[in-house]
Structure 1
Amino acid sequence: MGAGDPYVTVTEPTFVARFLVGPDTTEESVANVDVFVDLPDGSRWALTVFSLAEVHRLLARWRETGEAAGGSYFWAVDQLIVPEPGVPAMTAAIRELVRSGELAYAGVRCEDPDA
Protein backbone atom coordinates (compact mmCIF):
# COMPACT_ATOMS: atom_id res chain seq x y z
CA MET A 1 0.00 0.00 0.00
CA GLY A 2 1.79 3.10 -1.22
CA ALA A 3 1.22 6.67 -0.13
CA GLY A 4 -2.23 7.70 -1.32
CA ASP A 5 -2.98 4.20 -2.61
CA PRO A 6 -5.93 2.72 -0.71
CA TYR A 7 -5.23 -0.80 -2.01
CA VAL A 8 -3.07 -3.63 -0.77
CA THR A 9 -2.16 -5.43 -4.00
CA VAL A 10 -1.27 -9.12 -4.14
CA THR A 11 0.15 -10.31 -7.47
CA GLU A 12 0.17 -14.03 -8.19
CA PRO A 13 0.73 -15.90 -11.47
CA THR A 14 -3.01 -16.54 -11.93
CA PHE A 15 -4.52 -13.30 -10.59
CA VAL A 16 -3.98 -9.86 -9.12
CA ALA A 17 -6.06 -9.03 -6.04
CA ARG A 18 -6.55 -5.47 -4.79
CA PHE A 19 -7.77 -5.28 -1.20
CA LEU A 20 -9.39 -1.95 -0.24
CA VAL A 21 -7.93 -1.85 3.28
CA GLY A 22 -9.01 1.13 5.37
CA PRO A 23 -6.51 3.51 6.95
CA ASP A 24 -7.26 2.22 10.45
CA THR A 25 -6.75 -1.44 9.53
CA THR A 26 -3.62 -3.50 8.91
CA GLU A 27 -3.09 -6.25 6.36
CA GLU A 28 -2.89 -8.74 9.23
CA SER A 29 -6.06 -7.63 11.02
CA VAL A 30 -8.46 -6.79 8.19
CA ALA A 31 -11.70 -8.73 8.75
CA ASN A 32 -14.16 -7.03 6.38
CA VAL A 33 -12.84 -5.85 3.03
CA ASP A 34 -13.79 -5.29 -0.58
CA VAL A 35 -11.50 -6.99 -3.07
CA PHE A 36 -11.13 -6.68 -6.83
CA VAL A 37 -9.61 -9.70 -8.57
CA ASP A 38 -8.16 -9.35 -12.07
CA LEU A 39 -7.63 -12.50 -14.12
CA PRO A 40 -5.25 -12.97 -17.07
CA ASP A 41 -8.24 -13.15 -19.46
CA GLY A 42 -8.98 -9.49 -18.65
CA SER A 43 -12.02 -10.15 -16.48
CA ARG A 44 -12.40 -8.38 -13.15
CA TRP A 45 -14.36 -9.76 -10.21
CA ALA A 46 -15.52 -8.13 -6.98
CA LEU A 47 -15.85 -9.84 -3.62
CA THR A 48 -16.48 -8.74 -0.07
CA VAL A 49 -14.49 -10.90 2.30
CA PHE A 50 -15.40 -11.36 5.97
CA SER A 51 -13.74 -13.36 8.70
CA LEU A 52 -15.97 -15.62 10.79
CA ALA A 53 -15.33 -13.41 13.82
CA GLU A 54 -16.44 -10.34 11.85
CA VAL A 55 -19.71 -12.02 10.86
CA HIS A 56 -20.27 -12.90 14.52
CA ARG A 57 -19.48 -9.30 15.57
CA LEU A 58 -21.90 -7.86 13.01
CA LEU A 59 -24.71 -10.23 14.03
CA ALA A 60 -24.19 -9.32 17.70
CA ARG A 61 -24.27 -5.60 16.88
CA TRP A 62 -27.40 -6.03 14.80
CA ARG A 63 -29.09 -7.85 17.70
CA GLU A 64 -28.60 -4.61 19.64
CA THR A 65 -29.57 -2.21 16.83
CA GLY A 66 -32.43 -4.26 15.39
CA GLU A 67 -30.87 -4.38 11.91
CA ALA A 68 -31.30 -7.56 9.84
CA ALA A 69 -34.28 -8.65 11.92
CA GLY A 70 -32.36 -8.24 15.14
CA GLY A 71 -29.26 -10.02 13.85
CA SER A 72 -31.18 -13.09 12.74
CA TYR A 73 -29.38 -13.30 9.38
CA PHE A 74 -26.37 -12.15 7.40
CA TRP A 75 -26.02 -12.01 3.65
CA ALA A 76 -24.13 -10.28 0.85
CA VAL A 77 -24.31 -10.91 -2.89
CA ASP A 78 -20.57 -11.26 -3.39
CA GLN A 79 -19.73 -12.61 0.05
CA LEU A 80 -16.76 -14.79 0.87
CA ILE A 81 -16.23 -15.91 4.46
CA VAL A 82 -12.80 -17.04 5.62
CA PRO A 83 -11.85 -18.59 8.96
CA GLU A 84 -9.27 -15.95 9.94
CA PRO A 85 -8.72 -12.23 9.36
CA GLY A 86 -5.86 -10.90 7.27
CA VAL A 87 -4.84 -10.54 3.65
CA PRO A 88 -2.84 -13.83 3.65
CA ALA A 89 -5.88 -15.94 4.66
CA MET A 90 -8.08 -14.08 2.20
CA THR A 91 -5.54 -14.49 -0.60
CA ALA A 92 -5.40 -18.25 0.04
CA ALA A 93 -9.18 -18.44 -0.39
CA ILE A 94 -9.10 -16.35 -3.57
CA ARG A 95 -6.27 -18.51 -4.94
CA GLU A 96 -8.45 -21.60 -4.54
CA LEU A 97 -11.50 -19.89 -6.08
CA VAL A 98 -9.40 -19.01 -9.12
CA ARG A 99 -7.83 -22.48 -9.32
CA SER A 100 -11.19 -24.26 -9.08
CA GLY A 101 -13.02 -21.87 -11.41
CA GLU A 102 -15.48 -20.97 -8.65
CA LEU A 103 -14.62 -17.26 -8.66
CA ALA A 104 -17.34 -16.78 -11.30
CA TYR A 105 -19.89 -18.12 -8.80
CA ALA A 106 -18.60 -16.40 -5.66
CA GLY A 107 -17.84 -12.99 -7.13
CA VAL A 108 -19.62 -10.39 -9.18
CA ARG A 109 -18.13 -9.60 -12.58
CA CYS A 110 -17.21 -5.93 -12.96
CA GLU A 111 -18.01 -4.38 -16.30
CA ASP A 112 -16.27 -1.10 -15.48
CA PRO A 113 -12.53 -1.45 -16.15
CA ASP A 114 -11.86 1.37 -13.67
CA ALA A 115 -13.49 -0.46 -10.73
Structure 2
Amino acid sequence: MNGMKYSIWIEYEEWAEGEWNIVDGNTDAIVTFEDSSRWVASFFTYQNIQTLADKNKLTGECLHGKYLWGSDMVLVDECSRKRIEEVIAHFIMSGDFEVMFSRCEEGSLE
Protein backbone atom coordinates (compact mmCIF):
# COMPACT_ATOMS: atom_id res chain seq x y z
CA MET A 1 0.00 0.00 0.00
CA ASN A 2 2.87 2.30 0.69
CA GLY A 3 3.42 4.24 -2.52
CA MET A 4 0.02 3.35 -4.01
CA LYS A 5 -2.26 6.20 -4.98
CA TYR A 6 -5.59 6.47 -3.21
CA SER A 7 -8.69 8.61 -2.77
CA ILE A 8 -10.65 9.31 0.40
CA TRP A 9 -14.43 9.59 0.75
CA ILE A 10 -15.61 11.17 4.02
CA GLU A 11 -19.24 10.72 5.00
CA TYR A 12 -19.79 14.12 6.64
CA GLU A 13 -18.90 15.94 3.42
CA GLU A 14 -22.27 14.80 2.04
CA TRP A 15 -24.25 16.35 4.92
CA ALA A 16 -25.98 19.71 4.74
CA GLU A 17 -24.06 22.76 5.89
CA GLY A 18 -24.38 23.30 9.62
CA GLU A 19 -24.90 19.61 10.42
CA TRP A 20 -21.23 19.05 11.16
CA ASN A 21 -19.01 19.96 14.11
CA ILE A 22 -15.34 19.10 13.58
CA VAL A 23 -14.57 19.10 17.32
CA ASP A 24 -17.61 17.04 18.41
CA GLY A 25 -18.46 14.56 15.70
CA ASN A 26 -17.84 11.19 14.11
CA THR A 27 -17.70 10.09 10.52
CA ASP A 28 -16.85 7.12 8.36
CA ALA A 29 -14.00 7.37 5.88
CA ILE A 30 -13.44 5.04 2.94
CA VAL A 31 -10.05 4.81 1.28
CA THR A 32 -9.98 3.47 -2.27
CA PHE A 33 -6.60 2.43 -3.66
CA GLU A 34 -5.61 2.30 -7.32
CA ASP A 35 -6.05 -1.50 -7.25
CA SER A 36 -9.77 -0.82 -6.48
CA SER A 37 -9.51 -2.20 -2.93
CA ARG A 38 -11.62 -0.23 -0.45
CA TRP A 39 -11.04 0.15 3.26
CA VAL A 40 -13.21 1.74 5.97
CA ALA A 41 -12.73 3.20 9.45
CA SER A 42 -14.78 5.47 11.69
CA PHE A 43 -13.23 8.64 13.08
CA PHE A 44 -14.50 9.98 16.41
CA THR A 45 -13.34 13.12 18.18
CA TYR A 46 -12.37 12.86 21.83
CA GLN A 47 -15.20 15.30 22.63
CA ASN A 48 -17.71 13.17 20.72
CA ILE A 49 -16.93 10.18 22.93
CA GLN A 50 -18.03 12.21 25.97
CA THR A 51 -21.10 13.54 24.13
CA LEU A 52 -22.15 10.01 23.17
CA ALA A 53 -21.56 8.71 26.72
CA ASP A 54 -23.68 11.53 28.18
CA LYS A 55 -26.47 10.90 25.65
CA ASN A 56 -26.42 7.17 26.35
CA LYS A 57 -26.74 7.78 30.10
CA LEU A 58 -30.00 9.60 29.39
CA THR A 59 -31.39 7.26 26.72
CA GLY A 60 -30.32 4.00 28.34
CA GLU A 61 -28.29 2.91 25.33
CA CYS A 62 -25.05 0.98 25.93
CA LEU A 63 -26.10 0.03 29.47
CA HIS A 64 -26.84 3.66 30.29
CA GLY A 65 -23.48 4.91 29.01
CA LYS A 66 -21.37 2.24 30.70
CA TYR A 67 -19.63 1.36 27.43
CA LEU A 68 -19.15 2.67 23.92
CA TRP A 69 -18.13 0.54 20.99
CA GLY A 70 -17.41 1.31 17.38
CA SER A 71 -15.85 -0.95 14.78
CA ASP A 72 -12.57 0.32 13.34
CA MET A 73 -12.70 3.32 15.69
CA VAL A 74 -9.97 5.93 15.36
CA LEU A 75 -9.91 8.75 17.93
CA VAL A 76 -8.79 12.19 16.74
CA ASP A 77 -8.66 15.71 18.12
CA GLU A 78 -10.79 17.00 15.23
CA CYS A 79 -12.79 15.39 12.42
CA SER A 80 -11.63 17.57 9.54
CA ARG A 81 -10.55 16.40 6.09
CA LYS A 82 -7.07 17.71 6.84
CA ARG A 83 -6.76 15.64 10.03
CA ILE A 84 -8.27 12.49 8.50
CA GLU A 85 -5.91 12.72 5.50
CA GLU A 86 -2.96 13.25 7.86
CA VAL A 87 -3.85 10.22 10.00
CA ILE A 88 -4.44 7.96 6.98
CA ALA A 89 -1.09 8.97 5.45
CA HIS A 90 0.59 8.23 8.80
CA PHE A 91 -1.05 4.78 9.00
CA ILE A 92 0.09 3.95 5.46
CA MET A 93 3.67 5.14 6.05
CA SER A 94 3.94 3.33 9.40
CA GLY A 95 2.51 0.08 8.02
CA ASP A 96 -0.47 0.19 10.42
CA PHE A 97 -3.16 0.91 7.81
CA GLU A 98 -4.42 -2.67 7.44
CA VAL A 99 -4.72 -2.96 11.23
CA MET A 100 -6.61 0.31 11.66
CA PHE A 101 -8.96 -0.01 8.65
CA SER A 102 -11.14 -2.95 7.57
CA ARG A 103 -11.29 -4.07 3.98
CA CYS A 104 -14.72 -3.60 2.42
CA GLU A 105 -16.38 -6.62 0.90
CA GLU A 106 -17.06 -6.52 -2.84
CA GLY A 107 -20.33 -4.70 -3.40
CA SER A 108 -20.58 -3.28 0.13
CA LEU A 109 -20.86 0.43 0.96
CA GLU A 110 -22.19 1.35 -2.46
| Matched residue, 2:69 | 75
| Matched residue, 2:10 | 19
| Matched residue, 1:92 | 86
Q: Point out the more displaced range, 55-64 or 31-40.
A: 31-40
CA RMSD of aligned residues (A): 2.1
Higher helix share: 2
Aligned identity (percent) is: 25
Displacement of 1:54 after TM fit?
0.9
Alpha-carbon separation, structure 2, partners of 1:102 and 1:40: 19
- Structure 2 stretches of 5 or more lacking a match? none
Alpha-carbon separation, structure 2, partners of 1:38 and 1:84: 22
**Structure 1 segment 33-112 matched on structure 2, within 5 A:** 33-112=27-106
Deviations 1:39-85 (A, max 9, x none): 24432101111111111110110011111111111111211111123
Asked if structure 1 preserves the Cα contact closer than 8 Å seen for 2:6 and 2:34, the reply is yes
Aligned length: 102
Alpha-carbon separation, structure 2, partners of 1:41 and 1:102: 19
After the TM superposition, which parts of structure 1 deviate over 6 Å for at least 4 consecutive aligned residues? none
Equivalent position amino acid for 2:7 in 1 = V
- Structure 1 stretches of 5 or more lacking a match? 1-12
Higher strand share: 1
